[in-house]
Structures are given as structure tokens and as C-alpha cells.
Amino acid sequence: MRPEDLLCPTPQGLCCPAGDFFIDPLRPVERALVTHGHSDHARAGHGAVLATAETLDIMRLRCGEDCAGTMQAAAYGETVEINGVRITFHPAGHILGAAQICVEWKGLRMVVSGDYKTAPDPTCAAFAPVPCDVFITEATFGLPVFRFGDARAETAKLLHSVALFPDRAHLVGCYPLGKAQRMIALLREAGYDRPIFLHGAMEALTRYYAARGLDIGALRPAREARRDELAGAVTICPPSALQELWARRFPDPVSVFASGWMRVRARARQRGIALPLVISDHADWEGLTATIAATGASEVWVTHGEEDGLVRWCEMRGLRARPLRLVGYGEEEDEEEDQGAAAENGAAAAP
């Protein structure tokens, strides 16, 4: 049996004909397995969705209670059978509820990584590689220039800047789901105990993380803060808000952006970022390559990102590798930002 008989790439996403389901489908389908709650992976309108309980909660929060016909929760490590295909969710370490999905059928084991990272993150369950025959990996940062250091050192940079510029507001651009909450956790872990101000787009999701046990300390909506309170304080907002009208209410703001893209200086410069923080929820080059090795897979498929670099690495090690070139993933930046802007503008409409 070829791996393509178990999972095959289609324009709608990865399809499992034997189980009659799709994984992270890009368009509405009858039955979907969803790796995590980012909008490019978790879309509304499917007939039935199987995902972790957290991912389902996040989908309801973002797309409404009726965003899917039926929802079924899968716990990490628990095996569910659909039409004879055995399915197990494993932690992906990407955001709260993120999972790798292992699909087994007739002795063939394939793992779909979804988005993942191997670096520690107090806001979600830790990633662990899953042994398999075929590993289907993301490659957002699939070039050897992407090597992310310790997120705590990046957080220290932010705190140093806050100490150095006590009269300036620090606006930290973070994707509203995952990065924002991790940034808060990193600040708290570093001993920062002052209130952190939040853009409206982060509020509901951050409350959800707190309800799931994350220690977030004192948070306040930025829109209710006086200008002088924002000086010397940290405010977390969607990256797009850094350059929008919203940012004008802040005193002499320092634009900060926490993202793996900040590894490349030109990326930070293009966005007018004064303080880039290399903090990513994706695996870096070493994370990607070490994971491929740890799965023991003899064949690797690359879903999205910088496929060419990772495929080259596999070939150099004698692994079969193919880029799937699925169109539609990795756009979370744009979509998350649109959602973010809408949330705050709605919230800000009330004086």
C-alpha cells in the first residue's frame, strides 16, 4: 500500500478516503479532524469536527457555538476509530489544545504534525515526537537561518527596554491566540508583576486560557486606561494594531513584535519595529530536523512554509521527501489580524 492510499493531498486539504475524513480542511467538508484553533486550520462550516476539547472551545469562542454540525472531543493519547482507521491525538506544543494527529491503517502509521514547536511553553502541553512511517510536517521556518534562542532572553530584552524608557508605552504585537498568552506567561515568569494592558482582540481568548489554569496576573483592557498609565507599561495587541490609528493614544510608543519572523532583521525593519523579539510558536530549523529524525520516518511530506530547505535536508539524509504545496496555510497572520482589528474596533465604538 502506498502512503497516498491512506492520506492524499487535495485542494481541500489532506483527505483520508478510507476513513472518509479530512485533516484541517480548507473548505467545509462532512467530517473534519482539526489540529488546532488558528483560523487557517480550524474553519467553520464542517458537518462534524473531531479535535481536542480545548480546540473545540476555541472554535466556539471564535466562530460561534454553531460553527460545526457536531463536535467530538478527543483526549491526548486516546484512540478513536473511524471506519477502521485508528486516530490518536498527541500534544504539538504549538498553542493550547494543539495536536499532532496520528493515523494508522493496515499497519501504516502516518503523523500529521499540524503547527508545532519543540521549545518549552507554559501555556500548553509539551510536544513529543510520535514514531511513524510517514511524517507530514509544517515548515514555516524551514531554513537553517531560523534558529530561535531562549524566549526568556527575549523577554529580558523587553523588560530592559521598559526599564530604560519608563516614559514610553511598550506595544507588543502578538497573534491573539497563543502568542499573546505565552507572552503574558513569559513576563510573569520573569517576575514582571505590574498590570499588563490588553487590546480588545485578546480579551476573550486570554480569559479562556486563565480559566484553563494559566496564571496571568493582573490584566486590564487598554481602552479603559488613561494615557499616563500606559507610559512605562506593557500593552499586548495584534501586530496590525501597531501601525493603526489605535496606537495613537499611547505615549511615544516603542513598537515591539514577538514572532519568529523577527529573526531576520529586514523583516523587522519593513514593519517599522523598534524592538524585535524572536519568540515563535513554530519549530525552528533544529526543532524541525531533530523531530524528523526522532519520528524514525522514512518518508517526509512538507505541508507549508519554506519547503525547499527542509526537503533538501531530508534528501541529504537519504529520506524520501516531497513538498505538498498546500495553499491556504500559514496565512494565520493576516486572518488573525483581521479578526483582531474587528474585535477592538467593535469594543472601542463604545466610548
Partner 1 sequence: MNRFAALLDRLAFEHARNAKLRQMADYFRTTPDPERGWALAALTGALSFRHAKPGLIRALVAERVDPVLFGLSYDYVGDLSETVALLWPEGPSPRAGAEKAQNAPRLSEVIKALATLGKAELPGQLSRWLDALDETGRWALLKLVTGGLRIGVSARLAKTAVAALGDKDPDEIELVWPALEPPYVDLFAWVEGRADRPAVRDPAPFRPVMLAHAIEEAELAALSPADYIAEWKWDGIRVQAVAGRRADGAPVARLYSRTGEDISKSFPDLVAALTLPGAIDGELLIVRDGRVQSFHVLQQRLNRKSVTPNLLAEFPAHLRAYDLLADGEEDLRALPFAERRKRLKAFVSRLAQPRVDLSPCVPFSTWSELMAARADPAAAGAGADAEAIEGVMLKRRDAAYLPGRPKGWWWKWKRDPFTVDAVLMYAQRGHGKRSSFYSDYTFGLWTDGENGDELVPVGKAYFGFTDEELLQIDRFVRRNTVNRFGPVREVVHERDQGLVLEIAFEGLQRSNRHRSGVAMRFPRIARLRWDKPPREADRLETLERLLPPDA
Binding site for partner 1 (CB under 8 A): 143-147, 149-150, 153, 164-165, 242-245, 247-248, 252-255, 263-266, 268-270, 272-276, 286, 306, 308-309, 312-313, 316
Nearest distance from residue 48's CB to partner 1, in Å?
40
* Nearest distance, CB of residue 349 and partner 1, angstroms: 18
**Cα–Cα distances in Å, from 46 out to 28, 66, 97, 111?**
5, 10, 19, 22
The distance of closest approach from Cβ of residue 72 to partner 1 in the complex, given in angstroms and rounded to an integer, is 39
The alpha-carbon radius of gyration of the chain (Å, integer) is: 20
Cα 14 to the center of its chain, rounded Å: 19
Nearer to partner 1, 54 or 121 (CB): 121
Assess contact for 251 and 230: CB atoms under 8 A: yes
Closer by beta carbon to partner 1, 59 or else 242? 242
Q: Smaller CB distance to partner 1: residue 132 or 254?
A: 254
Nearer residue to partner 1 within complex by CB, 6 or 169: 169
Strand partners, 127: none
Region of 109 please: left (phi>0), alpha (psi -120 to 50) or beta: beta
Neighbours of 266 (CB within 10 A): 7
Q: How far apart are CA 144 and CA 207, in angstroms?
A: 36
Asked if 284 and 116 touch (Cβ cutoff 8 Å), the reply is no
Residue 17 CA to residue 4 CA, distance in Å, equals 10
Q: Which grid coordinates are listed for 195?
A: 498590570
Per-state percent for the chain, helix, strand, coil, to nearest 5: 35, 25, 40
15 DSSP β-pair partners: 8, 22
CB of 118 to partner 1, least distance (A): 12
Distance CA 126, CA 292 (A): 17
- Beta carbon nearer to partner 1, 130 or 256: 256
Nearer to partner 1, 15 or 258 (CB): 258
Least Å from the CB of residue 198 to partner 1: 19
Least Å distance between CB 149 and partner 1? Answer: 7
CB closer to partner 1 out of 109 and 263: 263
Cβ at position 276, least distance to partner 1 in Å:
7
Task: Write the DSSP string, 83-94.
Answer: TTEEEEEEE-SS
Q: What is the DSSP string of 182-239?
A: HHHHHHHHTT--S-EEE-GGGHHHHHHHHHTT-----EEEGGGS-HHHHTT-EEEE-G
Q: 211 or 266, CB closer to partner 1?
A: 266
Shortest gap between Cβ of 326 and partner 1 (angstroms)? Answer: 20
Q: How far is the CB of 275 from partner 1 (least distance, A)?
A: 7
Nearer to partner 1, 43 or 282 (CB): 282
